[in-house]
Amino acid sequence: ARYDIAALKSRLGGIKTEDNPALVRQKSRDFYWYSPTLKRQLDHVTADIIVSPMSEAQVVETLAACHALGIPVTPRGTGTGNYGQAMPLSGGVLLDLSGFNAVKDVALGRVVTEPGAVIAQIDRQTRPQSRQEMRLHPSTYSTASIGGFIAGGSGGVGSIRWGGLRDAGNVIRLKVVTMEASPRVLELSGDDLHKVSHAYGTNGIITEVEMPLAPAYDWVDVIVSFDTLREATEYANAVGEADGLLLKQLAVVDAPVPHDYFLRHQKYLPRDKPVAMAMVAAHAVSSLMGMTKRFRSAEVLFRSDRMSEADLKGLPPVFELGWNHTTLRALRVDPSITYLQVLYPFPNQVELVERIHARFGDEVPAHLEFVRFDGKVTCFGLPLVRFTTEERLEEIMAIHEEMGAPIFNPHRYTLEEGGMKQTDEIQLAFKREADPDGLLNPGKMIAWEDPTYDYRSGKTFLFRGLSEHA
Ligand code: FAD
């Protein structure tokens, strides 16, 4: 055995553990299988034991014991990440935080919760208590934990109004436990939040979060079709830039994706039409309809405020047609599909989208998510890819970059390769302080594992623990 799990269990007498191999394996995965590359690399990965602390004191106790025994610890919220973030590449402990999930305090403009709270569950408390809701949530609203969102997500529903999760003001305060002989509990706020935001739990365990809240409006789902992708993109861009229009979500998906893959909405969606999909406040729908009339080929296909409860029954909300739910719905119909993550930089996003998708045609159907990015409306892409080979996938990404659209590679499990392809010095420095033995989520931060790694080499980083297995 790699680690002394028996000794760990006897030290953690009062904390819930599980070492049934089938259950451990099940909890050792996330949605990594979206990527054929990650599926190949990570399929065998499993922890040795699940430890499920229910309080900060139990997190501290677990980390102290694992530190003493040299056992690696990989935190997990609810395991909905897409890049194998929560997969324990070196085995050891899978730290399941899903049961540590109370909503502790709701106030005007903010909420304090434990890390395992599912985001929809937070809103279920803040709405009736204070008519407020989370500003931002991933499309996995109903399943993702808030701690996992901060440590592993980037933004989503709400980003058209509030920007990304790491933008100033979108997280207020975090409590973080360090991985040391005597774990410390630190409070981070302001710029210090960058130490652990989107660090995949490689440098501390989040045990409390304070998040900003926004007014909870009644949101109406609207779907509008167009003759061309260009027109749908221009429409969404104009709607996104309309400062007075209260929106929570705004996306464009090219034909034939909506008709072919949004099965429960299929009867509303003609096969040859690209669509724009929005969540708009009920009192702003008439303004949105006014704007829509100005677009020649626009046709309103769907308005949730015009439908009976019976018709709406069984239909997912439009945000569950967007973000990585678009990919999920496509994958359910055609398992060979995968996806990319693309930035179309402001101010050329509309032209760039048209040029790139004209080049690839139906091999890479467009999916755009409109966001406010440093005060400017632009779009990210999560285009689908009709996958053939890993070589072709690499080629498609290279062409995007050549054409001026940077890729955030969703086929890599490391922070650096999935992000900006450079070391995050703040996160690295914090890891030296908070996890000096490198026991938290090993293999995910290249700068820690291999300080000499050359990002220009064009090679894929292969974590030692994984290459030994291969
Ligand atoms: P997990 O997958 O459990 O963990 C994510 C990362 O955080 C891991 O590295 C884990 O080790 C770490 N972690 C978890 N909890 C803690 C903690 N308490 N302390 C320290 N580290 C921790 N993401 C988006 O950003 N926007 C989207 O719109 C979006 N849409 C999605 C749609 C689908 C269909 C799917 C499958 C995924 C989507 N995702 C999206 C990715 C993912 O669902 C979200 O990022 C989600 O918030 C992750 O939460 P989780 O609890 O599942 O985290």
What pLDDT does 1 receive? 67
pLDDT 10s digits, 31-72: 999 999 999 999 999 999 999 999 999 999 999 999 999 999
Mean pLDDT of 317-340: 97
Nearest to 260 by CA among 354, 341, 331, 353: 331
Report the chain's mean pLDDT, rounded to a whole number. Answer: 96
Segment holding 372, helix H or strand E: strand 367-373
Paired sense of beta strands 93-96 and 49-52, if any: parallel
CA of 153 to the centre of ligand 1 (A): 5
CA–CA distances in Å: residue 406 to residues 103, 167, 242, 341, 397: 38, 19, 26, 9, 9
Burial 28-50 (b: 16+ CB within 10 A, else e): bbbbbbbbbbbeebbeebbbbbb
Determine the distance separating the centroid of ligand 1 and the alpha carbon of 202, expressed in angstroms.
14
Q: What is the Å distance from ligand 1's center to 30 Cα?
A: 9
Query: Which residue, judged by its Cα, is nearest atom 23 of ligand 1?
Result: 153
Residue nearest to atom 40 of ligand 1 (CA): 138
- Of 79-93, 299-313, 412-426, the one with minimum mean pLDDT is 412-426
| Nearest Cα residue to atom 32 of ligand 1 | 324
Q: Whose CA is nearest to atom 4 of ligand 1?
A: 148
Would you state the structure tokens that stand for residue 30, as one six-digit string?
């996330």
Q: What single DSSP character describes residue 55?
A: S
Least confident of 185-194, 288-297, 389-398, 414-423: 414-423
373 pairs with which residues across the strands? 376
Residues 6+ apart with CB under 8 A from 396: 340, 360, 363, 364, 385
> For position 470, what pLDDT does the model report?
43
Q: How far apart are CA 282 and CA 296, in angstroms?
A: 24
Residue 154's pLDDT is: 96
**pLDDT, position 455:** 81
Average pLDDT over residues 273-286: 98
Establish whether residue 178 lines the binding site of ligand 1, counting it when its CB lies within 6 angstroms of any ligand atom: no
Query: Is the Cβ atom of 410 under 6 angstroms away from ligand 1?
Result: no
Give 165 Cα–ligand 1 centroid separation in angstroms: 12
Neighbour count for residue 325 (Cβ, 10 Å): 21
Partners of 145 in beta bridges:
118
Q: Can you say how many angstroms the Cα of residue 85 is from the centroid of all Cα atoms in its chain?
A: 10
pLDDT of residue 321: 98
Ligand 1 and 77: CB distance under 6 A: yes
Decide whether any atom of ligand 1 lies within 6 Å of the 90 Cβ.
no
Q: Which helix (H) or strand (E) element contains residue 260?
A: helix 257-261
pLDDT tens readout for residues 196-245: 999 999 999 999 999 999 999 999 999 999 999 999 999 999 999 999 99
pLDDT of residue 90 exceeding 90: yes
Ligand 1 contact, 323 CB (< 6 A): yes
Any idea which of 65-74, 105-114, 389-398, 414-423 has the lowest mean pLDDT?
414-423
Beta carbons of 268 and 223 less than 8 angstroms apart: yes
Measured between alpha carbons, how far is 462 from 467 in angstroms, rounded to an integer?
Answer: 6
Domains of the chain, CATH where assigned: 1-216+420-470 (3.30.465.10), 219-402 (3.40.462.40)
- pLDDT above 70 covers a percentage of the chain that reads 99
Whether the per-residue pLDDT at 456 is higher than 90: the answer is no
Q: Rounded to whole angstroms, how far apart are CA atoms 23 and 100?
A: 19
Count of CB atoms situated within 10 Å of the CB of 248: 24
Q: Confirm or reject: Cβ of 151 under 6 Å from ligand 1.
A: yes
User: What residue type is 119 in one-letter code?
Assistant: I
Distance, CA of 268 to CA of 288 (rounded, Å)? 19
Cα(331) to centroid(ligand 1), Å: 19
Pairing of strands 93-96, 73-76: parallel
Rg of the chain (C-alpha set): 22
Identify residue 42 by its one-letter amino acid code: L
Q: Is the pLDDT of residue 469 over 60?
A: no
Q: Whole-angstrom Cα distance, residue 197 to residue 211?
A: 13
Task: Answer yes or no: are the C-beta atoms of 341 and 224 closer than 8 Å.
Answer: no
209 SS3 class? strand
Cα separation of 419 and 398, whole Å? 15
17: tokens are: 């553990």
Six-digit token string for 411: 């086929």
Residue 457 DSSP one-character state: G
- Residue 405 pLDDT more than 80? yes
324 lines ligand 1 (CB under 6 A): yes
- How many residues in the chain? 470
Does the Cβ of 163 fall within 6 Å of ligand 1? no
Residue 118 and residue 135: Cα distance in Å, rounded? Answer: 14
User: Could you give the CA distance from residue 84 to residue 33 in angstroms, rounded to a whole number?
Assistant: 8
Listed in order, strand segments (DSSP E) in 168-298 are 173-177, 185-189, 205-215, 219-225, 247-253, 275-281
pLDDT value at residue 467: 60
* Ligand 1 centre distance from Cα of residue 307 (Å): 33
